[in-house]
Amino acid sequence: MSASQEQETPLRDPASTFFQSDRVRRLIIASYWVVILLATPLWWHTTSIERLSLPTAQVQYQAKTLLSFPIAIRLDPSLVQDDPSITGKLQQFFDTKGGQWSGLSIHVEVGSEAGMLSWSAIRFVSHESSRLFEHPWHVFLPHLADILATLLVPYSSDPDREYRIAQYSPRFRLSFTLLNEDAAAGQVITGWDLTNAIRHHVDPIVTALSILHNFTIESQVQFHAPLAFKPQALDNESFGLTPEDLTVFINSAEWTLSSSSSNDPVLHFVLFVPSSVRKPLVILNPDGSLSHSNSFLIPQWGGVMIYNPSDDSSPHRYLSSADLDTLFPAFSNQLLALLGVPGLHADVRISPDDNSLLSDWQLDALLRRRAFENDQGAKDTLRSTVKLVDQIENMPVGQVVRDDVWDALSALKKMHFVSANSLVETMRLSADAATHASRAFFNPGMLALLYFPPEHKYAVYTPLFASAMIPLIAAALREFLAWRRQHQQVANT
Amino acid sequence: MLWRCCLVLIGALCTPVLSKHLSNEEFREQVSLQTLQDGRVASTFSFNILLKDATPREPRTLIFDDESQHYNLFPLALGQILREYAVTELHLTLNAGKWNYDSWGYPKERDVGTGAALWAWMADGGPTSIDYRWQGLRNALAGLFCASIGSLDEQRTTSPVLPFAPEGSLPDWGVEHELRHASLASEHVCTENLTPFLKLLPCKSLSGIASLLNPHRLFDADWHGMGLHVLWNPDAGVEVRLAFQLVSDPLRISAGKKQDWSFSTLFDRTIERTCPVAQSSIVDVALPREALYNISPEPPRIDQNVAFYDLTNMSEALDVKLKWALDFTYPLDPLKITSMPISVRRTLQGASQDRGQLSLVIKNNAPFPLQVLYLETMPWIVQFYLHTMRVSSDTSGDDFISNISYVPSVPHSRPATFQAVLTLPTESTVYLTIDVTKAFLRYTEHPPDAQRGWDLPPAIILPLSSSNAIRSEFVGRIYTPPLLVDLATPDFSMPYNVIVFSCSLIAFIFGNIFNLLTRKFVVVRLGSQQGTSKSKHD
Amino acid sequence: MKTPSTVPLGLVFSALVASRLLISCTSIHEYLIHDHQLSSPLTSFLNLKEGIYLFNNGVDPYSGGVFRHSPLYLSLFTTILSPSRIIASLLWTLCDSIGAWSMVRIWRARNNIVQSSRDVLVAALYFLNPYLFLPSLAFSTSSIENAVSLLAIMFACERRTSASLLALAFLVQLSLSSVVLIVPIILLLITSPISQLVSPRPFSGKWTQSLGHVFELAIYVLVLTLASTLVSGDFLWISQTWGASLTLPDLTPNPGLWWYFFTEMFDHFRPFFLMVFSVHLLIYIAPICIKFQYDSLYATFLLVGVLGIFKAYLTLSDPGLFLSMISLFPEIYPYFRHPIVTSLLHLHATMLLPLFHRLWLTQGTGNANFFYASTLVFACANGAALVDCVWAGLRIAIGEQVDGYAVTQE
């Protein structure tokens, strides 16, 4: 630049003005950036989605850990004396089994009297004073193994039974409903002495299973409960329900059976009284013959019994305790089946001095089954939760969800720890784990931002930030470069 | 440990013994038909189920498992809800249409406010707060009745204790009882609400009086509404009253000038079978006072100009018919028009979308002065300017308004409650006006049909019984028709446009100032011949 | 000090006050009092009256959503004054007079003169500015805030430190956005109000002094906050008054940029953009104060202009104050780049705003976008004025325009 030109300028030299100095300019640019940097935590605070980290590795690790119950089978020394090889043969038999047996690690040994009180000990004895079960001693090995199988893993044998069992829940509502198909048609059952019937037939089961479930019992009577189909008229003035009819028997649109107030699963027991114009109502076998049973079970839902009152009775009838005594055993059997209580092997008899409803065999098998079910359920749910959170980046994960996941994990850990010692405790912990895991999975807070894709986010941010931040960044860069050049020049000279 | 035992004991004493047989439950049904002044017919169905010697659940027992509920007649679905949330008294009404007090008089079922209204008395002291249980109750009833009661959230919940005093008794548990009230004027009542209602009845709609409830005719009526009322009486027990009320117009059905009606013309049904479990089953028909008529079948009992039919011993289908000898003439005598002690008119004036004026005109028809309680529950979208309230009358005097209580509304959370006592001089009209502003909502807060406007809940006028000479039948809530308020709407398609426009403008001004403050000034010499030549002063 | 030339000012001033009072005694305020452009929910006289009514009747006015005024107004109107028509007319006329008189005093302080022929013009421009005149007729409390902020500036110009800081503390109580003015006014206290625009030079005041001022201001603010808490009984007023200008709970339309933006904002981004809009106001303080460190009064003036565009719950009186304050700086007039464009934009906006507001809300023939668009035009007009003032304030240092040369920025 030539100096002569400058002298001609009548204007003041802008460079000489105070505010044009580098220091002022850099201070201004810096002050913009200071405010922006100070506001960054606020930015983070106002836009962050609460997304706590989940213990993925632990979930994966737990998913691989299998629940296993050690079971010691102690053979009576007298038995081994007769056939010393029986121990080895039995052990070999159990070792080669898979499938349902996989969760049981069975150890066959010759027991001494002292160790027989341990909870998992099985005493197999041949003489009459057997405490657990008795059996003629000239038993073949396969038959012995078979008996042990029905005692230890009764669920392996019958997939149909397995399908009926209601999913585990710590609480169940048992809902008893007396349905008059059409009370106005002539005969009406106005009520039933349910309290006594429940005391005699349901309470023992409820008490026996109280370590597994809590039960709430409720009942109602309905006077108009039409069927959704017409039962087929039979020759002998009776009406029949075919197996197809049974599948659509429950007319949930017209009958108000469901409980709306709580989330506990409900097991329904329906005593159906057909209209007096459609009486007696009987159940037919698939081949058309009369079934000898008047009740049927709807898997995982409940049981239905059809009650045909005699014609001679008065138009208003009240079912007394004695009447119900003939009807309720069927309900208690259905209840046992729905809750998964296994039957005993025909050859196994509970010793006569034991008058409880369920043998320890049945209860232990049920506890093991429920523990496996819950353990599997909890692990699957946890895995799905972690996977889902992993896949969807916008999914918020709050403290509640994380706590639930951690609680489920710690319950699983404790469960493995106690599984060798206490079956009841193991079951309880597995139930805890399953409850926490599913509560975490269904937490409504996780859905909050599921439908706000990242593209929208850019569309919201860009208009202000692209246009306001670019000059700021450019100015900062330019100043930085200018400063470095100056610095180098100073260094070079 | 001791207190826990005591609690268990208290719980055991207070909880009902519901598991006795039929003698512990009673079902009574009744339908009353009445010809109204304008020729219409009001039918009121009422179904009472009494659970003898039962008490509501005490909230403190909510920490324990509830004992078994065994019912024969009482609806289990309702019992579960009442016990789950420990509700002492519950009222739910679902009405459609405007009850025309001036020509129809007081309704038999008093609560005729348009839309849905729910109120409940609940005791405190439970493990969860009353508001938490109130929310649960709303959701449970919404599920039971397929109605949008669940949306009666804290934005609509108030606690106007005076006009909604308990109808039964409140048990003395040593804890406070509180009221929660919410209403939704825009609720449309239809068949999907009636079906669950009928399912709560022991005989559904298949026998007894309820068999007249034919949805096709009910929802065709000029006015219809249903109600559920649960209350406790220490001498009787827990009482559930399910009510259905409708006003049909036989003049419209008959297409003539005759106001004749029968069950078959009104409901397209007759009562063919009795409900076998009903303790009593009564049809009563108010007979015309000053006209020639013929009623068939011949009523077994007539008492004070009301015909009674008892259905318990019915042998054949009942189809009550009422025929008039003469054509219907509309009563022109203005004195005869209204039997109401007061007439109320409420309007929201002003065409602007940002403000208006609420005006209440209330006329005392009675020959004596009256005191009424005036309750206004206003969602926060309409805010009162209470200082602009003016009360005047066509007669001289002042102090028409007293005992004002006001809970201001909070945007996005709480409605306003305005309550005052109005003194109405003999046969005079009192005018009350309040200026209001209308809120501007976020675009996400508008309903899908935003241009339709918002329904404001009805105001409630309650004649106070303390006024002398007022007949007991005139003590009941009077509901004004709901109002429709027109709120200003934003353009719902604009979010991104607004973000882009506003942000660009801000960024433009911001960038300009930034440049002015940071860029260097230079002097440029404008070339006279060959463009410009710059002169930098660095 | 009576000299003949002061008589015109005294005369004109009294004439202006009298006519102002006369007009406010007519029923014109009934047409203006509801207008969203003249009073926002934070400054509306109706809301103030409602709050006072509730307070007098034993209802906590801050428990509802209508009343968002400072508890100081509450104590003023419930003890000393009553919110009647006449009192309000007098009070608002008084506020306008204080504002105009402060303007005159600021003008005199800036030029370090006792009086000048321009006094009348400065006062008249404050009195007759429609942006200030109409909100005042509508009894918008923004007029009071304007008067208090002019008082704070005037006392600062006259080096009456405590008075200025007290006025500033009141101003912050009445409207939180005014914190933007704290820094330049404190700087003004330690420098001189005399125009330095022509010859910029580094900051000359003593920094240590400002620390004392900040401390004094903090004490005033604390005392007033405590007084407010005593008046209202609890701390609820803070979220209702100060919180309102940060969280925008009431979306009533106004000529500003916030209301429609947050009406249309997605819920998830609402807190973020509320933060951005609030921080955006603060980001101007440091750069403007640094650049104009040699003339703090000018920096104050520019920040008043920033508030007049970007404030939450803007009313016409906020940009009005900025526009009237231009009359204090006649030296920059020759350096405006586009005064015609700015005036035309203002003309355009002042015609569109009431028209579209009416079309949308009263007539129902327009929709919200109409009014939104006119607020954008209004923001453009204010932005153009502000940018031009920044330009002129800097440009003046380089000297008068010479033919053949142009001054520009690289």
Q: Which residues from chain A sit within 8 angstroms of residue C397, using beta carbons?
A: 12, 14, 17, 19
Give residue B93's pLDDT. 94
Q: Mind listing the pLDDT tens digit for each residue in B294-350?
A: 998 889 999 988 999 998 877 888 999 999 888 887 766 654 556 788 889 999 998
Alpha helices by DSSP H, B376-494: none
Residue B418 · residue B378 · CB < 8 Å: yes
Peptide bond into A10 cis (omega under 30): no
One-letter amino acid at B118 equals: L
Per-residue confidence band for A258, with pLDDT thresholds at 50, 70 and 90: low
Q: Which residues from chain C sit within 8 angstroms of residue B386, using beta carbons?
A: 50, 53-54, 57
Per-residue confidence band for A77, with pLDDT thresholds at 50, 70 and 90: low
Whether residues B505 and C376 touch (CB distance < 8 A) is answered with yes
Q: Report which secondary-structure segment, H or E, holds C361.
A: none
DSSP-based three-state secondary structure for A179:
strand
Find where tokens 């208690």 sit. A332
Which one of B20, B57, B62, B70 makes the best mutation probe of the A interface by having the most chain A beta carbons within 10 Å? B70
* Mean pLDDT (whole number) for A311-333: 85
Structure tokens at A126: 């041949």
Nearest-5° Cα angle at A81, A77 to A86: 85
Taking CA atoms, B370 is separated from A189, B165, B406, B475, in Å, by: 54, 20, 22, 11
CA distance A130 to chain B (A): 41
Q: Mind listing the pLDDT tens digit for each residue in B144-166?
A: 888 888 788 888 999 999 899 89
Chain B nearest-CA residue for A475: B518
Nearest-5° Cα angle at B71, B68 to B75: 115
Q: Which residues from chain C sit within 8 angstroms of residue B378, using beta carbons?
A: none
Q: Enter the DSSP assignment of C337.
A: S
Q: Report which secondary-structure segment, H or E, holds B164.
A: none
Chain A nearest-CA residue for B521: A14
Taking CA atoms, A446 is separated from A399, A452, A457, C108, in Å, by: 11, 13, 19, 65
CA distance B189 to chain A (A): 20
Q: Is A190 on the interface with B (CB under 8 A)?
A: yes
One-letter amino acid at B520 equals: K
**φ and ψ at B511, to 5 degrees?**
-65, -40
Separation between Cα atoms, residue A351 and residue B136, nearest integer Å: 51
Residue A439 · residue A381 · CB < 8 Å: no
Q: Which residues from chain A sit within 8 angstroms of residue B15, using beta carbons?
A: none
Whether residues A468 and B511 touch (CB distance < 8 A) is answered with yes
CA distance C114 to chain A (A): 30
Beta bridge partners of B232: B238
Q: Is A39 on the interface with C (CB under 8 A)?
A: yes
Structure tokens at C158: 């006259």
Structure tokens at A24: 């002022």
Chain A nearest-CA residue for B501: A463
Q: Which residues from chain B sit within 8 angstroms of residue A222, using beta carbons?
A: 202
Residue C237 · residue C71 · CB < 8 Å: yes
Q: Is the pLDDT of residue B253 over 90?
A: no
Structure tokens at B19: 């598991």
One-letter amino acid at C104 equals: V
Whether residues A13 and B75 touch (CB distance < 8 A) is answered with no
Q: Is A455 on the interface with B (CB under 8 A)?
A: no
Separation between Cα atoms, residue A260 and residue A222, nearest integer Å: 17
Beta bridge partners of A410: none
Q: Can you give the residue ranges of every domain in chain B?
A: 20-251, 340-485, 495-535
Chain B nearest-CA residue for C399: B523
Whether residues C200 and A19 touch (CB distance < 8 A) is answered with yes
Of C49, C36, C133, nearest in space to C88 by CA = C49
Q: Mind listing the pLDDT tens digit for each residue in B364-395?
A: 888 888 889 999 999 999 999 999 999 999 88
* Terminal C-alpha separation, chain B: 90
Separation between Cα atoms, residue A220 and residue B200, nearest integer Å: 11
**CA torsion through residues B266, B269, B273, B278, sign:** negative
Which of B76, B144, B500 comes nearest A218 by C-beta?
B76
Residue C306 · residue C386 · CB < 8 Å: yes
CB atoms within 10 A of CB C92: 25
CA distance A185 to chain B (A): 8
Per-residue confidence band for A99, with pLDDT thresholds at 50, 70 and 90: low
Torsion of CA A319, A322, A326, A328, to 10 degrees: 70
CB atoms within 10 A of CB C340: 8
One-letter amino acid at A299 equals: P
Domain B340-485: CATH architecture, name and number where available: Sandwich (2.60)
Structure tokens at B201: 């009845």
Number of C-alpha atoms within 13 angstroms, CB side, residue B114?
Answer: 20
Which one of B15, B516, B517, B532 makes the best mutation probe of the A interface by having the most chain A beta carbons within 10 Å? B517
Whether residues A14 and B521 touch (CB distance < 8 A) is answered with yes
Helix, strand, coil abundance in chain B, percent, nearest 5: 20, 35, 45
- pLDDT-wise least confident of A94-108, A276-290, A375-389, B251-265: A94-108
Residue B87 · residue B122 · CB < 8 Å: yes
Separation between Cα atoms, residue A86 and residue B51, nearest integer Å: 67
Separation between Cα atoms, residue C171 and residue C167, nearest integer Å: 6
Helices A56-64 and A360-391, axial angle in degrees (round to 10) = 140
Separation between Cα atoms, residue B503 and residue A468, nearest integer Å: 9
Q: Which residues from chain C sit within 8 angstroms of residue B514, using beta carbons?
A: 287
Which one of B505, B518, B528 makes the best mutation probe of the C interface by having the most chain C beta carbons within 10 Å? B505
Separation between Cα atoms, residue A173 and residue A217, nearest integer Å: 6
Q: Mind listing the pLDDT tens digit for each residue in B441-455?
A: 999 889 888 888 899
Q: Which residues from chain B sit within 8 angstroms of residue C61, using beta carbons?
A: 408
Separation between Cα atoms, residue B479 and residue B458, nearest integer Å: 6
CB atoms within 10 A of CB B20: 17
What is the C-alpha radius of gyration for chain B, rounded to an integer number of angstroms? 30
pLDDT (tens, 9 = 90+) of chain C, 410 residues, equals 444 445 578 888 899 999 989 998 888 888 899 999 999 999 999 999 999 999 999 899 999 888 999 999 999 988 887 778 888 999 999 999 999 999 999 999 999 888 888 889 999 999 999 999 999 999 999 999 999 999 999 999 999 999 999 999 999 999 999 999 999 999 999 988 888 888 888 887 788 888 999 999 999 999 999 999 998 888 989 999 999 999 999 999 999 999 999 999 888 889 999 999 999 999 999 999 999 998 999 999 999 999 999 999 999 999 999 999 999 999 999 999 999 999 999 999 999 999 999 999 988 888 899 999 999 999 999 999 999 999 999 999 888 888 778 888 87
Q: Is C399 on the interface with B (CB under 8 A)?
A: no
Per-residue confidence band for A129, with pLDDT thresholds at 50, 70 and 90: very low
Which chains contact C through at least 3 pairs of Cβ atoms less than 8 Å apart?
A: A, B
Question: Phi-psi category of C94—alpha, beta or left, where left has phi over 0 and alpha has psi -120 to 50?
Answer: alpha
**φ and ψ at A273, to 5 degrees?**
-105, 110
Higher per-residue pLDDT: C212 or A446: C212
* Terminal C-alpha separation, chain C: 51
Residue B118 · residue B149 · CB < 8 Å: yes
Find where tokens 């009195």 sit. C127
Separation between Cα atoms, residue B272 and residue A182, nearest integer Å: 14
Separation between Cα atoms, residue A148 and residue A218, nearest integer Å: 39
Separation between Cα atoms, residue C282 and residue C259, nearest integer Å: 19
Separation between Cα atoms, residue C270 and residue C274, nearest integer Å: 6
Structure tokens at C151: 């008082």
Of A101, A47, A48, nearest in space to A73 by CA = A101
